[in-house]
Amino acid sequence: MHDLLSQPPGMLLWAALGVGLAMDAFAVAVATSITLERVSKRQIFRFGFHFGLFQALMPILGWFAGKAARDYIIAWDHWVAFGLLGFIGVKAIVDALLGGPDHVMDRDPTRGLSLVVFSIATSVDAFAVGISLAMIGVAIWIPALVIGVVTSALTTVGMLIGARIGPRLGRGAAIVGGVVLIAIGLRILASHGV
C-alpha cells in the first residue's frame, strides 16, 4: 500500500476525478437541453466547450490560490453553487408557469450570462480540488487537462440525452429542468453537510 501512495497519480485517477467533478455539469446539461425546443450542434458545442474550459481552469486557479484561500473558499463554495443553480432553476419554473401552454424558453441558456453562470456553478468544486492538489504538491497541468476533457465529453452526452427527453415532456420540460437544477444545488449543499 505504501508503494501505491508513493507513486504519482496516474491518468486513471485523474479521469475518475474528472468524472466525479463532471457529474453536476452532466446533470445541468441534461436539465437545460430538455427545456429547449430544439437542440442544435452549436448549442451542444457551446455547453461542452465552456463547461470543459471552466472545469479545467478552476483547478488551475485554485492551485495558484493555494493554502491561503482554502478555508474561505471551502466555507462558501457550496453556497455559491446552490445560489446560482437555484436562481436559474426557479426562473425556469416561473417562466414556464407564466408563459402559457406553448411556452418555450425565450432565451437560449447556452449563450451569454446563463452560460457563464452555469459554467461557474458547476465548476466551483474544481477550484477546491486545485487548492487540495497544491497542498499535497501535485502538478496541476495534466489533472486540469483531463478534468476539462472529461467534463466536455460528459456535458456533450448530457445535452444529447436531454435533447431526446425534452420533446417527450412537452410543456413540463422547463419545469422539470428547473426542478432538476434546484435539486442539484440542494445535493451540493447536502454533500457539504448543510
Full DSSP string of 36-93: SSS--HHHHHHHHHHHHHHHHHHHHHHHHHGGGGHHHHHHHHHHHHHHHHHHHHHHHH
User: DSSP assignment, residue 99?
Assistant: S
Contact criterion met (CB below 8 Å) for 30 and 161: yes
pLDDT digits (tens, 9 = 90+) for 73-90: 667 777 877 777 777 778
Q: How far apart are CA 32 and CA 173, in angstroms?
A: 9
The pLDDT tens digits along the chain (194 residues) read: 334 333 456 778 888 888 888 888 888 888 888 878 788 899 999 999 999 999 999 999 988 887 666 667 667 777 877 777 777 778 777 776 776 544 444 577 888 888 888 888 888 888 878 887 887 778 889 999 999 999 999 999 999 998 888 767 655 666 776 777 787 778 877 877 76
Q: Produce one character per residue of 148-180: b if its CB has 16 or more CB atoms within 10 Å, e if not.
A: bbbbbbbbbbbbeebbeebeeeeeebbbbbbbb
Q: How far apart are CA 56 and CA 137, in angstroms?
A: 18
